[in-house]
Amino acid sequence: MNDEIPYLMRGIQPVATDSSVLVSSSKYLNNARLRDWVATHLLRRSGMDRPTTAEAYELNLILREIQDYDYIEELFKQERKKNAALDAWFSERFMSTFTGADLVDYPEDSLGGIFHREVVAKGYNIQIVPAPEKPPIRDIDYFLMRAGQTHDFEHLVCGGGLDFLGELVPYYMRLTNLYKFLSTELAGELCVYGALGSMRIVSRAALHYPQVWLTVLETIERGIKVGRESGPIFMAKYEDVLHLPLEEARRQLGINGVRFVDTSAQTAIYEERAKPS
């Protein structure tokens, strides 16, 4: 053994190839658009000239190029054979159709009233993924559509503020909860977006905004706790509990371990809208 090679560098084997372009065993590394997205959004500073929603939308489009949806669909079919609750959920194919106007008369302390105040009244679009006229035929398409419909509900019931750092709660809730209730292989495919999307928040905080770092860690912990202690949140039907007070709605939905923390001030620092005190 060559003692001149640093200990931690030993064992590296050169790889020969005839390719004139980058080739990797990772389909993610092979994608030039994803390489650029990762390099840009995991390393950049935050800026109001580049909304965080835009980079999330871009990531979604890129992953649709890379991930094999036919393969994921087959994994869902296998999962449905052994998971009666999941099979029933897919069979129902429920789609939300309520509008902001439908929530006006709910009590202020109800889930519907809180959703109206925190989402509708503040100008957020309640349809992150517009519902099609008919439910999607494929399970994977329905899963993604429903995830878009329920995302803002997940903020409210899981204890994440409707701000950028608050996104870490639903991110890490799903990164935990999906593995708890689905096969490892399927959960892994469904968590790719969440893994990359959440890491951009984490890495930028670590690199550029140390003032909010401990808040980032604490917010991640809160999301993980909810994911571990709750039922299958990805199948929750919030539309059935809009009339209930928030705590009662959580109990009905089997969502546990929630602790809300307001992260809006830390998000303002992270987004460079405010200076650290």
pLDDT digits 0-9 by tens, 189-218: 999 999 999 999 999 999 999 999 999 999
The answer as to whether 263 is a domain residue is yes
CB 275 within 8 A of CB 209: no
The answer as to whether 24 is a domain residue is no
The mean predicted confidence, pLDDT, of the chain is 92
Domain total for the chain?
Answer: 1
The answer as to whether 10 is a domain residue is no
Enter the pTM of the model: 0.91
Mean pLDDT of 34-48: 94
168/227 Cα distance (integer angstroms): 12
Mean pLDDT of 79-108: 93
pLDDT of residue 1 exceeding 60, the answer is: no
pLDDT digits (tens, 9 = 90+) for 233-247: 999 999 999 999 999
The answer as to whether 22 is a domain residue is no
- How many other C-beta atoms lie within 10 A of the C-beta of residue 34? 20
pLDDT digits (tens, 9 = 90+) for 260-275: 999 999 999 999 999 8
Q: What is the pLDDT of residue 101?
A: 85
pLDDT of residue 2 exceeding 70, the answer is: no
% of the chain with per-residue pLDDT over 70: 96
The answer as to whether 245 is a domain residue is yes
pLDDT digits (tens, 9 = 90+) for 138-155: 999 999 999 999 999 999
Q: What is the pLDDT of residue 130?
A: 67
In degrees rounded to 5, what are phi and psi of residue 147? -60, -40
The answer as to whether 113 is a domain residue is yes
Reported confidence tier of residue 122, pLDDT bands at 50, 70, 90: confident
| Assigned token pair, 158 | 């899981």
Q: What is the pLDDT of residue 225?
A: 98
DSSP SS3 for 253: helix
Give the DSSP letter of residue 165: G
pLDDT of residue 20 exceeding 90, the answer is: no
pLDDT of residue 257 exceeding 60, the answer is: yes
Q: What is the pLDDT of residue 77?
A: 98
Q: What is the pLDDT of residue 100?
A: 81
Which residues lie across from 110 on neighbouring strands?
245
The answer as to whether 276 is a domain residue is no
Reported confidence tier of residue 50, pLDDT bands at 50, 70, 90: confident
**DSSP class per residue in 34-93:** HHHHHHHHTTSPP-TTS-HHHHHHHHHHHHHHHS-HHHHHHHHHHHHHH-HHHHHHHHH-
The answer as to whether 82 is a domain residue is yes
Range of the domain at 99: 33-270
Q: What is the pLDDT of residue 72?
A: 98
245/169 Cα distance (integer angstroms): 21
Q: What is the pLDDT of residue 128?
A: 60
